[in-house]
Structure 1
Amino acid sequence: MALSSLLRPALRSGLKSPPFRKRPRARSLHLAPPWLLDDYIPRYHLLSSLDAAKKRSLAYAHLRECNLCPRLCGVNRYKETGVCLIGAEKVKVNTIAPHFGEEPCLQGHNGSGSVFFSGCNLRCVFCQNHDIAHQRNGFDLTPEELAEWYMKLQEVGRCHNINLVTPEHVVPQVVLSILHARELGLRLPIVYNTSSFDSLESLALLDGLVDIYLPDFKVWSDKTSKRLLKADNYTATAMESIKAMHAQVGDLCFTADGIAKKGVLVRHLVMPGKEDEGKEIVRWLAENVSKDMMVHVMEQYFPRAHVGKPRRGGKDAEVIEPGGVPATGDAKTPVRYVDINRPVDLKEVASVMQAAKEAGLWRFIEPARHGGFNM
């Protein structure tokens, strides 16, 4: 039956169509989230030859008078070393390999191509990688040799990115290695995996070379940073560093395969009894950087490094064994940093997560229940 014949009874009955109403103007919509990329070209491939040459020159200049971290040692690293104990011509690397202990959006199926540098410009008493960061264990590489390892991670390991772990004290060499790897054909995003104890000069040198910043905002109070990180002004430094990182690359973005390609992902390791500091950190991120910031509230803390070691004399203190159980009998040996000598309680982690959500943050790294990737 024709459509017109079906409509005739209604027309004969005198029914009128409803009056036309002007629709409210719709706001601009995206077909996909603004953090989803069709494709991505690493930032170092967009750098002009002139800008690359300037960065090389600046890298060499900073090595001759090193003030590229808040320690401000000012030493000529061709002749002596500062707090980090690393010279100018080579870096000391502990491990280079595909890594499967990172966030799902970084490690993917093939792993994150991680380079663990020996040494650090902090002295965290609870360092989870203290055998690497607190000691000069590993092998020496020139920036050119380091670039060749990047290529192996790309061509042999098929890794999703180059993940530079604890690189704050070797930024000039890292800059030289990335520029050399660009000439060798590197195509992977560069991840700068940092404690956030960076200087603005250091981050300016990295601008245009780093695709993903992975800062760890550790503690909030100056008293805590001086006692546990052995660093003054850590919080103020971390705040200005993370702001500068976000100004360079923005919020974390992905390609359709769920792999992060550009932006900032902030980590915070919740520590025993320090959940109030964690709450201050997530509130500050939401109010001063971006509510769309990707955040990883971490629960992996466990006593390491100097925590729980026998005290070097001094006053006795209550001893708490792993698990938060008071020690008894012969185990009552005075230990160092007794207040953080236990694993973190999941309730402490949950309280920081709740504060983050109340502050307006909503993009969190969480274990993927389906075994895939998080976006």
Structure 2
Amino acid sequence: MEASISFKEKSMLSSCHLCPRDCGVNRLSGAVGFCGAGALARVALVSLHKWEEPCLVGSDGRGAGTVFFSHCNLRCCFCQNHEISHEGKGSDVTDERLAEIFLEQQARGAATLDLVTPTHFVPQILHALALAKAQGFHLPVVYNSGAYETVETVESLAGAVDVYLPDLKYMEETSARDYSAAPDYPAAARAAIEAMFRQVGPAQFAADGQMTRGVLVRHLVLPGCRHESMKILDWFHETFGDKIQVSLMNQYTPMYHASEHKNLSRRLTTFEYESVVEHALDLGMTHCYVQERRAASKEYVPSFDGSGVAPLQPPSLRGEP
């Protein structure tokens, strides 16, 4: 393990303060904090994902090169990825193997490198990116997170991340506490998103429409929470104007422990979603994606079967001539 851990990783993992949980545990000693992550990055799936926003999958739709990390510092009761985020399904990989995964995604023709739920593995990712770049890696790096991170962690990513893809889940402490066990989420996430914007600036796009730099903020509209969603749009507009890209998502599907909450035990209605879209239009927002109703389906949940995580075997080890 020692050979795959950089000096910077050692300092960040020996007392972990990567997120607002501020656990302070020594992950190098085998201890784990709230998220459950250890000294090595754990990966559950490596894939070409064609269902991300259009500006991330390439003009020919070849797909974002997703790397799904296991564990999470949030406990969203409706999480569609709960088997990896809450239960930790996945395989530990060294930083060297993680660098190889990044290069393999590039070789597959991925439009971007899409790091999904990466916050608790920032030190390992930074080391792996440095290793990969030394071997010719050049894809735009997308940091796809729940936005529950510290400003210091965001600042440590300067120069490594091209596009930030955070969620902004809640504006109210009550919602954040009840649904994600993080009452400080609204304040922490807003501060993190502002830090992301300061770092990469206004959204920039290539001639073919691919996003090359900037912030794309997702917001999943939840049933019974449309007024909270409108407050989030107000904050987007007041804080950034049209300098960020927004993605309004209607794909909420009751999963995991959602049925324990009356609001979340049902699907989103057409009225609820359309009223939030109308609010965005009333604000004059122009850089905003909307979703079709058919996106609300379990069919869009990836199968976390470990594809792409293990090292590629040479032909002689695969039983081929």
Could you tell me the TM-score, scaled by structure 1's length? Answer: 0.74
Matches within 5 A, 1:1-375: 57-79=7-29, 80-88=31-39, 90-108=40-58, 109-155=61-107, 157-308=108-259, 336-366=260-290
Q: Which runs of 5+ in 1 are unaligned?
A: 1-55, 309-335, 369-375
Partner of 2:133, secondary structure, is: helix
| Distance of 2:116 and 2:133 partners within structure 1 | 20
Asked whether the 8 Å contact 2:42–2:93 carries over to 1, the reply is yes
Contact 1:287 1:359 in 2 (8 A): no
| Conserved 8 A contact 1:73-1:83 | yes
Q: Structure 1, residues 40-93: CA drift from partner, whole Å, max 9, x if none?
A: xxxxxxxxxxxxxxxx644331111100100000011111111111111x1111
Unpaired stretches in structure 2, ≥5 consecutive residues: 1-5, 293-321
How has the CA–CA distance of structure 1 residues 200 and 59 changed in structure 2, closer, same or farther, with 3 Å as cutoff?
farther
AA matched with 1:64: S
SS state of the match for residue 210, structure 1? coil
Which letter does structure 1 place at the counterpart of 2:81? N
Deviations 1:185-211 (A, max 9, x none): 101010000111010111011111000
Distance 2:80 2:262 in 1: 17
| Structure-2 separation of matches of 1:77 and 1:129 | 24
2:318 alignment counterpart: none
C-alpha offsets along residues 93-150 of structure 1, whole Å, 9 cap, x if unaligned? 1100111121111112211000000100000001121122111111111111101011
SS of residue in 1 equivalent to 2:214 = strand
Q: Is the 8 A contact 1:292 1:362 kept in 2?
A: no
- How far the C-alpha of 1:359 sits from its partner, in A, is 2.5
d(CA) in 2 for partners of 1:141, 1:215: 24
Partner SS state of residue 78, structure 1: helix
Alpha carbons 2:249, 2:291 under 8 Å: kept: no
Larger Rg: 1
Matching residue of 1:7: none
- Displacement of 1:179 in angstroms is 1.1
Determine if contact 1:62/1:172 at 8 Å carries over to the other structure: yes
User: Does the 8 Å contact 1:292/1:361 carry over to 2?
Assistant: no
**Which aligned runs of 4 or more in structure 1 are off by greater than 4 angstroms?**
none
Measure, in 2, the Cα distance between the counterparts of 1:250 and 1:349.
29
Contact 1:270 1:278 in 2 (8 A): yes
Task: Provide the C-alpha distance between the structure 2 equivalents of 1:291 and 1:151, rounded to a whole number of angstroms.
Answer: 34
CA–CA distance in structure 1, aligned partners of residues 266 and 65 of structure 2: 31
- Secondary structure of 1:267's aligned partner: strand
Corresponding letter in the other structure for 2:215: V
Describe the SS at the equivalent of 1:114: strand
| Aligned partner of residue 136 in structure 1, secondary structure | coil
> Equivalents in 1 of 2:232, 2:266: separation in Å?
22
Would you say the 8 A contact 2:249–2:290 is kept in 1? no
User: What secondary structure sits across from 1:295 in the alignment?
Assistant: strand
Mapped partners of 1:57, 1:241: distance in 2: 25
Name the aligned partner's letter for residue 355 of structure 1. Answer: H
- Alignment TM-score, normalising by the size of structure 2: 0.86
Structure 2 CA distance for aligned equivalents of residues 293 and 258 of structure 1: 15
Alpha-carbon distance in structure 2 between the residues aligned to 1:221 and 1:160: 35
Q: Mark the CA change 1:367 to 1:83 in structure 2 (over 3 Å): closer, same or farther.
A: closer
Q: Which amino acid aligns with 2:98?
A: L
**CA RMSD after TM alignment:** 1.4
- Do 1:192 and 1:212's aligned partners in 2 also have CA atoms closer than 8 Å? yes
Q: State the alpha-carbon separation in 2 of the partners of residues 306 and 234 from structure 1.
A: 20
Distance 1:71 1:160 in 2: 33
**Secondary structure at the counterpart of residue 280 of structure 1:** helix
Q: Percent identity?
A: 40
Amino acid in the other structure paired with 2:17: N
1:151-179 Cα distance to aligned partner (Å, 9 max, x none): 11111x10011000011111111111111
2:296 is matched with none
